Amino acid sequence: MSWDGSAWTTAVVPSVGADDNFLESVSCVSATFCVAVGASFDGTKYQTLVATWNGSAWAVAVSPNEGPDANLLSSVSCTSATSCVAVGHYFDGPYTSGIKTLAMKWDGTDWTIIPSPNNNLGTDPNRLFSVSCVSPTSCFAIGSTGSGGIETLAMTWDGTDWTILLSPNPAAENYLESVSCVSSTECVVVGVGVDNSNVGSPLVLTWNGTMWTQLSVADVGTEDDMLSGVSCAASYSCMAVGYSATNGQDQTLAVSLTGPVPPSPDPVAPSFTG
């Protein structure tokens, strides 16, 4: 569906698979160019699904796949009509060792696979859930790795290669869900940290191009709190959303970034407010 400033309008997106077809993410650079990504089921396995919007209709684009099994795209970020990067994961063997990161780019004509790295390849699954690009040569992607205790996964794209960054894991299990960058030296990442009692708390990290800072977010629910999406409109101006749970009931949750991030890692910096 599309928003014209006053109302939402539903638009038909062509289905590829005979069964399941779903879209996970969309990125627009103008009213006449958007890209949405997800996956479709071809009867035996999931394959990548990419659709483009020209201002009046959606059309399915040809997109590549890796390996012999399932491929799924989770996120896309475009900086122009000729430059987009999409990320996700694909299956290339047993569950604990055969899930690998998937990345591809759009050059205005074709989608092509970008080789992407994995942590502990051969022992742990690796997935990318979100990507944010500020230029054709600067993207930031996040996800998770690990088959036991889940750990954070973050990497940067310089237009040629992906590079994995060392990223913090403050809880027993750590899931990164969404990233938004306003420059190559200012990104905000959100997700959830799960303690040893299996209780989740919001996880918010910022990246300044050199180091990470963990920001504190107060728990709202008595059971779980999780952030699944973030969008930054300008420097130090971000909104993150997710849910909080109390007595088995999930409620919407939104928090905002209200001021400059401390220049060095600080696990208790009160930078996000509900």
Place of tokens 């237009």: 159
Q: Can you tell me the distance from the alpha carbon of 224 to that of 70, in angstroms, rounded to the nearest whole number?
A: 31
Q: Can you tell me the distance from the alpha carbon of 140 to that of 177, in angstroms, rounded to the nearest whole number?
A: 13
Q: Could you give the dihedral angle defined by the CA atoms of residues 153, 157, 160 and 166, in that order, rounded to the nearest 10 degrees?
A: -40
| pLDDT score recorded for residue 17 | 66
Cα distance between the two ends of the chain:
28
Q: Retrieve residue 264's tokens.
A: 């060095």
Q: Which residues of 104-123 are buried (b: 16+ CB within 10 A; e: fewer)?
A: bbbeeeebebbebebbeeee
Q: Can you tell me the distance from the alpha carbon of 267 to that of 17, in angstroms, rounded to the nearest whole number?
A: 46
Is the Cβ–Cβ distance between 164 and 120 less than 8 Å?
no
Q: Retrieve residue 271's tokens.
A: 């930078």
In this predicted structure, the answer to whether residue 262 has a pLDDT above a threshold of 60 is no
In this predicted structure, the answer to whether residue 32 has a pLDDT above a threshold of 90 is yes
Q: Retrieve residue 75's tokens.
A: 């996120």
Domains of the chain: 1-166 (2.120.10.70), 168-274 (no CATH)
Dump pLDDT digits (tens) for 158-175: 999 999 999 999 999 999
3-state secondary structure of 188: strand
Amino acid at 241: V
In this predicted structure, the answer to whether residue 178 has a pLDDT above a threshold of 70 is yes
In this predicted structure, the answer to whether residue 121 has a pLDDT above a threshold of 80 is no
Mean pLDDT of 116-125: 85
Dump pLDDT digits (tens) for 4-24: 889 998 988 888 867 889 999
Question: Beta strands 111-113 and 126-135: pairing type?
Answer: unpaired
| pLDDT score recorded for residue 239 | 95
Instruction: Report if pTM > 0.75.
Output: yes
Mean pLDDT of 42-64: 94
Q: Can you tell me the distance from the alpha carbon of 198 to that of 101, in angstroms, rounded to the nearest whole number?
A: 26
Confidence of residue 260 (pLDDT cuts 50, 70, 90): low
Q: How many CB atoms lie within 10 A of CB 136?
A: 17
